Amino acid sequence: MEKAAAPTPTPHVLVIPFTAQGHTLPLLDFAALLAARGLRLTVVTTPANLPLLSPLLAAHPAAVRPLTLPFPSGTLLPPGLENTKGCAPQYFPVFLHALASLRDPILAWARSQPDDPVAAVIADFFCGWAQPLARELGAAGIVFTPSGVLGTAIPHSLFRRLVSRPPDCGDEFTVSFPAIPGEPAFQWREISMMYKWFLEAGDDEQATAVRESVRQNFLWNVQESWVIVSNTFRALEGRYLETPLEDMGFKRIWAVGPVAPETDPAGTRGGEAAVAAANLGAWLDAFPEGSVVYVCFGSQAVLTPAVAAALAEALERSAVPFVWVVSAGNSGVVPEGFEARVSERGLVVRGWAPQVAALRHAAVGWFMTHCGWNSVLEAAAAGVPMLAWPMTADQFANAQLLVDEVRVAVRACAGGFGVAPDAGELAAVLRDAVGTKGHGVRARAKELAAEAARAVKEGGSSYADLEALVHEIRKLC
Ligand SMILES: O=c1ccn([C@@H]2O[C@H](COP(=O)(O)OP(=O)(O)O[C@H]3O[C@H](CO)[C@@H](O)[C@H](O)[C@H]3O)[C@@H](O)[C@H]2O)c(=O)[nH]1
């Protein structure tokens, strides 16, 4: 009698998110796609971040399990703070340094179960320490970037080349990126706060440790990883996917986005919404198609009172209908009496908004955004053009891509963290956008939405990359 072939083992993959909303959500979306393709996943989390995993665990109870580890203690963070939601950008390096202390407990966990080895480690690009950890576990290290390829290559280039600004130059000093297609260039004021912090932080013991963690993070990503996965798609960033990039260590980049599901029926993606999706939808129903501007700056941005006052004045003077989402911790910046004056055509949401649902409402014609990559992809998938107001991080690169290359956005203002725009100019941008001048960009945004939808369907570029990557992971067993 012939011996039955041994069953093919199911690869066990360890997933390590960075504890920021804008990073965890897309990595968990990607994890759901892998679970749906039959991989077994262990997702690292900490007690306060565990609720973010609930939808994934509920959808894939057999394939996904959490590994809940205490948030590292003895860090520079206040006790109990486990997620960057609502934190100012200067917290990012500290979180990045703190989370690196998860390495030892993860190693101990992996060694405690030799019968179920990890085949691959998929870690957020702010968890670069996971790449040498993967090597130590005998697993393949996969970097997941929640940003686009351009927005990922730029910080890696800065940390690789250690670019600095000559002492006699100001914020207009231009940094170019010669190894990236098109040789993009950005003014110093547009360079990420994390990189500037790295250059300017003091030399005391704590700052030195955090700085070292941050630089090493980027070097590990490109030097130690096997491949890189980006939440992007070819119709959006094909130019940066054609040839391997020096700034990304010439690694293979798999473009698998948009990874987010098309809808968010509960409207609670990433948090309990301050307004139910149905109620927001009912409010929007009163407005004609494409007439409303949705204004939201992601999960991190904190508006100064001066910036909020300029935005409020612009919204008031423009006379356009709008929804303005102000994060819960920042809600005091809405000027006194503003809501009463605009109540006929404007809604201020204080707290978390059901963004995915809002962008898919027919009345929403434009999205004023800081160009956080998740917001960019959600707008792209919904066919909503953007008014780009970049503030920090990858947002200036994203804005340049959207405005100058893909032409699905118009610049709202020069941007920058804490820089108030001219209210009159911003009001004119808003009026032009919803008026006939905005027609061309709106039409282009609809085309991009069709391309995004095609990318993730069978036969599409992101679908093909995802299938091929899963095939490669299976071969690791
Ligand atoms: O009221 C809100 C606010 C946000 N969101 C969601 O939260 C996410 C926000 O992500 P993103 O738009 O990328 O912004 P940030 O939270 O600022 O993201 C950080 O991470 C991104 C991915 O690396 C970077 O591109 C950004 O620059 C960085 O600030 C999106 O899915 C939004 O739909 C809501 O659902 N409701």
pLDDT tens digits, 422-469: 999 999 999 999 999 999 999 999 999 999 999 999 999 999 999 999
397, 186 in Cβ contact below 8 A? yes
Encode pLDDT of 237-280 as tens digits. 999 999 999 999 999 999 999 999 887 766 667 777 888 889 99
Q: Residue 443's closest CA among 385, 402, 397, 387? A: 385
ipTM greater than 0.90, yes or no?
yes
299 CA → ligand 1 middle, Å: 5
**Max mean pLDDT range (128-142, 197-211, 253-267):** 128-142
Asked if pLDDT for residue 400 goes beyond 60, the answer is yes
pLDDT in the model for residue 246: 98
For residues 121-147, average pLDDT = 98
Catalytic residue at 124?
A: yes
378 CA → ligand 1 middle, Å: 10
Which of 149, 299, 303, 350 maximizes ligand 1 atoms within 8 Å of its Cβ, making it the mutation to test the pocket?
A: 299
Q: In the block, which residue shows the tokens 């941007």?
A: 415
pLDDT in the model for residue 328: 86
Catalytic residue at 370?
A: no
Half-sphere exposure of 144 (CA within 13 A, CB side): 28
Which of 275, 327, 375 maximizes ligand 1 atoms within 8 Å of its Cβ, making it the mutation to test the pocket?
A: 375
Asked if pLDDT for residue 1 goes beyond 60, the answer is no
For residues 60-75, average pLDDT = 94
CB atoms within 10 A of CB 338: 19
**Nearest 5°: phi and psi at 148?**
-75, 180
Pocket of ligand 1 from Cβ distances under 6 Å: 21-23, 25, 146-147, 269-270, 296, 298-300, 325, 352-353, 355-356, 372-375, 378, 393-395
In Å, how far are 49, 196, 375, 422, 463 from 307, measured between CA atoms? Answer: 31, 22, 20, 10, 41
Q: How confident is the model at residue 331 (pLDDT cuts 50, 70, 90)?
A: confident
Nearest ligand 1 atom to the CA of 327 is: 1
91, 113 in Cβ contact below 8 A? no
> What does the block give as tokens for 125?
């690009």
DSSP state of 301: -
Asked if pLDDT for residue 4 goes beyond 80, the answer is no
Q: Which of 3-7, 69-73, 110-114, 236-240 is the least confident region?
A: 3-7
Asked if pLDDT for residue 50 goes beyond 80, the answer is yes
391, 302 in Cβ contact below 8 A? no
300 CA → ligand 1 middle, Å: 7
Question: Is the bond leading into 258 cis (omega within 30 degrees of zero)?
Answer: yes
Asked if pLDDT for residue 2 goes beyond 60, the answer is no
Q: Which amino acid is at 262?
A: E
Determine what percent of the chain is predicted with pLDDT higher than 90: 88
| Active-site entry in 12, 23, 97, 370 | 23
